[in-house]
Amino acid sequence: MAQLSYRDAVARGIAQEMRRDPNLVFLGEDVAAAGGVFKTTVGLLDEFGPERVRDTPISEQAILGAAAGAAMTGVPVIAEIMFSDFLAVCFDLVANEIAKLRYMTDGQVSLPMVIRTANGAGSRFGAQHSQSVENWCMMIPGLKVVAPSTPNDVVGLLAAAIRDPDPVVFFEHKSLMAVKAEVPDGDIVDQLGEARIVRNGSDVTIVALALMVSRALEAAERLARDGISAEVIDVRTLVPLDTQAILGSVERTGRLVTVEENPRLCGWGAEIASLVAHEAFWSLDAPILRITTPHIPLPAADILEDATIPSVDRIVETILAEWA
């Protein structure tokens, strides 16, 4: 077992699967010699060569068009879209082609492909390079959606995504790249659709994703000083969604709080709130709370960006206000 950063876990996860499957190819902007704009693909070109690790032109449509075409012929592909915001440039391919092809061919054609992309705020990249857009993809039938919060989950969930026969959009959070944690040696393969309870509690369930998981955990520690026992769930995959883990937790605690980096309108937390309100209404002892980014473009100024994204202070203050 060794300490591994989130960014290095990406390279390890890709390398693990490229060693396992000699047909797997990887393409994207600056992913080869440069090692990726976030240095998440360092060493892959040296190990696997330019036939399997390919730099592309600056064209998101070309990247996903080539990847989809290869996947349709049975070649498994990892395609990188540098910033998740740029999915908007190629969203027709994502939403109308990649997501629907298996359905439209009655299963005769599958797309074994993973779209990797850097997501989220906190790195001062401004309104066009800092969005959390996992809810964009969550709403499209035919896509699976993954967003790991730890280096270990990066490796295991990336392996699961690559081995899945359906297209998976894999969101890597920019503000987690330098985070380090212990990762076991050997191959790691996780399971899509399984949330993880990362802190047990009895008074309130906090559901979080990616960067918000560590903030929810810190908030839970602070709430414990005020006598509030918070259970924290790392969703990990939005599609498929582990509804049983969420509902089971709410049935134990009687309260639900979602912490999401999405803008408030139509964020993934709204879907979870709807699910719990319908399936576990009689278990609720208080209204569901959603802690989100406001429905505004993200500012570039440090102090404004920090004030916009859900913080540990805001999580604690919102929950304590409910108890007042």
Question: How crowded is residue 287: how many other Cβ atoms within 10 Å of its Cβ?
Answer: 10
- DSSP lists the bridge partners of residue 208 as 234, 259
Query: Of 130, 160, 156, which is closest to residue 144 (Cα–Cα)?
Result: 160
Query: Bridge-partner residues for 234, per DSSP?
Result: 196, 208
pLDDT at 83: 97
The pLDDT, as a whole number, for residue 2 is 85
User: In the Cβ-directed half-sphere of 10, how many Cα atoms lie within 13 Å?
Assistant: 31
Architecture of domain 2-183: 3-Layer(aba) Sandwich (3.40)
- 196-323 is a CATH 3.40.50.920 domain: yes
Q: Which sequence positions are flagged as catalytic?
A: 129
Sorted by where each begins, the domain ranges of the chain are 2-183, 196-323
**Separation of alpha carbons 275 and 253, rounded Å:** 16
Instruction: Return per-residue pLDDT of the chain as tens, 324 residues.
Output: 789 999 999 999 999 999 999 999 999 999 999 999 999 999 999 999 999 999 999 999 999 999 999 999 999 999 999 999 999 999 999 999 999 999 999 999 999 999 999 999 988 989 999 999 999 999 999 999 999 999 999 999 999 999 999 999 999 999 999 999 999 999 999 999 999 999 999 999 999 999 999 999 999 999 999 999 999 999 999 999 999 999 999 999 999 999 999 999 999 999 999 999 999 999 999 999 999 999 999 998 999 999 999 999 999 999 999 886
Give, as one character, the DSSP assignment of residue 87.
G
Question: Can you spell out the DSSP letters for 173-194?
Answer: EGGGTT-EEEE-SS-----TT-
Peptide bond into 148 cis (omega under 30): no
Kindly state the helix (H) or strand (E) to which residue 271 belongs, with its residue range: helix 268-279
Identity of residue 291: I
For 311, which DSSP code?
A: -
Q: Identify which of 177, 171, 13 has the alpha carbon closest to the alpha carbon of residue 85.
A: 171
Q: Is 67 helix (H, G, I), strand (E, B) or coil?
A: helix
Helices 312-323 + 211-225 axis angle, to 10 = 50
pLDDT in tens, 194-223: 999 999 999 999 999 999 999 999 999 999
Cα–Cα–Cα angle for 162, 166, 171, rounded to 5 degrees: 60
Cα(100)–Cα(165) distance, integer angstroms: 13
Question: Does 2-183 match 196-323 in CATH topology?
Answer: yes
Q: Parallel, antiparallel, or unpaired: how do β-strands 180-183 and 2-5 relate?
A: antiparallel
Please tell me the predicted confidence (pLDDT) of residue 324: 64
pLDDT at 1: 78
Angstrom distance (rounded) from CA 248 to CA 280: 9
The closest alpha carbon to 141, from 178, 167, 120, belongs to 167
237-263 residue pLDDT tens: 999 999 999 999 999 999 999 999 999
